[in-house]
Amino acid sequence: MSTTENPVRDAIQGAIGEHEVLLFMKGTPEAPACGFSARTVAALEALGTPFAAVDILPDPRIRQELSNLSNWPTIPQLFVKGELVGGCDIVSEMYESGELAQVLGVEAPADAPDGAPAAAEPGAPPLQIKNNLV
């Protein structure tokens, strides 16, 4: 990626391009710092899908540049294959309707009527990106 005068935006764009499932959140998956981030992490973990996460709290520029890029004002923001899927409300709705599993290309959760997933690895730990955006 070419060098521009906006390294934070470049780093965000790079991360979105590199990680198939990427969550920008407040705090970390182990220690979410906001209820909305926590709910979004819970939906992803319930589907057992590995995901990368970026904590936006350490540097206010991350949130600002992210919102400029995505045209979305709030955190969390879930990206799948480079596209913004939504924030906590949309991700929660999509989890409940089964759409999230579809978008992520995974089996629906075990408690879904037709879900009955084959023994998936129990709780694969979420992939942590080193927060190198600061």
Partner 1 sequence: MPRPEDLKQRIEAAIPGAQADVTDLTGGGDHFRATVVAAEFAQLSRIEQHRRVYGVFGSDIGGPIHALSLETKAE
Q: Can you give the binding site for partner 1, defined by CB under 8 A?
A: 36, 63, 67, 71-74, 84-90, 93
C-beta of 116: minimal distance to partner 1 in Å? 28
56 vs 40, 53, 59, 61, 115, CA distance in Å? 15, 9, 6, 8, 34
Query: Of the two residues 44 and 78, which places its CB atom closer to partner 1 in the complex?
Result: 78
Cβ atoms 91, 103 nearer than 8 A: no
- Nearest approach in angstroms of CB 32 to partner 1 is 14
Other CB atoms within a 10 A radius of the CB of residue 70 amount to 16
C-beta of 94 vs 126, nearer to partner 1: 94
Measured from the CB atom, the residue of 6 and 74 that comes closer to partner 1 is 74
* Residue nearer to partner 1 on the CB measure, 45 or 99: 99
* Beta carbons within 10 angstroms of residue 40's beta carbon: 31
Minimum Å gap between C-beta 103 and partner 1 is 12
Smallest separation, CB 60 to partner 1 (Å): 10
User: d(Cα 16, Cα 60) in Å, to the nearest integer?
Assistant: 18
Closer to partner 1 at the Cβ: 85 or 108? 85
Q: How far is the CB of 7 from partner 1 (least distance, A)?
A: 22
- C-alpha span between 60 and 79 (Å, rounded): 20
DSSP 96-128: HHTHHHHHHT-PPPTTSTTT----PPTTPPPEE
